[in-house]
Structure 1
Amino acid sequence: MTDDADDDGSYDERPSKSLRKRQSDDLQQLGEALIELSDSELAALPLPEQLRDAVELARRITAHGGLYRQKQYIGKLMRKLDAEPIREALEAKRTRERVEATRFHRIEQWRDRLLREGSDGIAAFAAEFPHADSKAIGKLTERARKEQQQTSQKVTPAGRELFRVLRDALSNAAP
């Protein structure tokens, strides 16, 4: 019976095969995320030229088998480099997208509240955002409410304009 211990009685500290496989799969998924990026986002990342070329080639491959093999190759290239800067850049991108989505939903909620509540909603908005032009927002809100009553559309041209004004007002607000 053989013992895996070294001469001094300690065991080898290499990662297990399953851990290496999980790490490899993780890097391949990271590489696949690179394929989904826009050209400008990809250009902003600190990638070696060989990896950048492999990602750009993967974008052009349409055959399932060929794309699978290219993704495998990208995963292999990823194992040869420090993936942390790439991982951090992708996480920063996801964070920006989440913040932007939250901001967009907040603007929609204010627009819907203004349209639903009228002058009470305008007063609440003015209290929360005193720098905003509440008089212009009030006029737009009334115009959008009238347009909604006259048509069956939920979002009207005045409603879209109200959204833009709210977006500007919330952008100028302190975070």
Structure 2
Amino acid sequence: MSDRNPNSQQDPQFNDELEDENFISKTELKRQAKEHQKLGESIVNLTPAHLDTVPLDEELADAVNVARNVSRKKEGFRRQLQFIGKLLRQRDTTAIEEAMAKLAHQHQASNVAFHKLEKAREAVIEQGDSAIQALIEEYPSLDRQKLRQFHRQVKKEQEKNAPPRAFRELFQYLKEVIHED
């Protein structure tokens, strides 16, 4: 008769499988550490306004502030980034990563809008009335007369090699009106 209870002792093969699932190689740990350190560096490089949108606990926020105050040329900055990476490894970073992704998306969207404005300005300058008509159809709040005036002023500036004042003013006008729509 056996004194063993089948439930009291686990199968050794089962234990090996569990260890294999939980095993993380040293290389993988180093890669994760480097990723967390990069995330920390991108947090440190944020503007104060953007930094306020990232959910950081008090300890992590203090570490980020210390890194921002340390000279970037010194060894202390590198060590502080490593410390921030260590703090990030000890936390669930999904909320922080989501906030950083949202900021990156906002940056991309503003770049797309900026390029769209540049293309509209170039079209007004190069194509004249046809581009002005197309812009007015897309953005009815634009003033046709003002756009034609900008077109003429920019052409005169280009002929005289004068400073591009009207060129800049046209961009600002498009930016103001198109962003309102």
Q: TM-score, normalised by structure 2?
A: 0.83
Q: Are residue 47 (structure 1) and residue 56 (structure 2) matched?
A: yes
Match of 1:164 in 2: 172
Greater C-alpha radius of gyration: 2
Of 37, 40, 47 in structure 2, the residue corresponding to residue 31 of structure 1 is 40
Count of residues in correspondence between the two structures:
166
Q: Are residue 119 (structure 1) and residue 123 (structure 2) matched?
A: no
Greater mean deviation of Cα atoms: 132-141 or 88-97: 132-141
Tell me the CA shift for residue 152 of structure 1: 5.0
Which runs of 5 or more residues in structure 1 are unaligned? 1-5
Tell me the CA shift for residue 27 of structure 1: 1.2
CA distance in 2, matches of 1:166, 1:37: 29
Match of 1:71 in 2: 81
Of 128, 133, 157 in structure 2, the residue corresponding to residue 147 of structure 1 is 157
Structure 2 SS opposite 1:44: coil
Q: Give % identity.
A: 31
Tell me the CA shift for residue 112 of structure 1: 1.1
CA distance in 2, matches of 1:71, 1:170: 41
Tell me the CA shift for residue 22 of structure 1: 2.1
Superimposed CA distance per residue, residues 113-157 of structure 1 (whole angstroms, 9 cap, x where no aligned partner): 11111122212222322332222212222122222212254xx11
CA distance in 2, matches of 1:36, 1:119: 45
Match of 1:135 in 2: 145
- Residues 55 and 99 of structure 2 are in contact (CA less than 8 Å); yes or no, is this contact kept in structure 1? no
Greater mean deviation of Cα atoms: 84-93 or 124-133: 124-133
Match of 1:104 in 2: 114
For 2:145, the aligned partner's letter is K
Runs of 4+ in 1 over 4 A off after TM superposition: none
Of 7, 11, 30 in structure 1, the residue corresponding to residue 11 of structure 2 is 7
Structure 1 SS opposite 2:101: helix
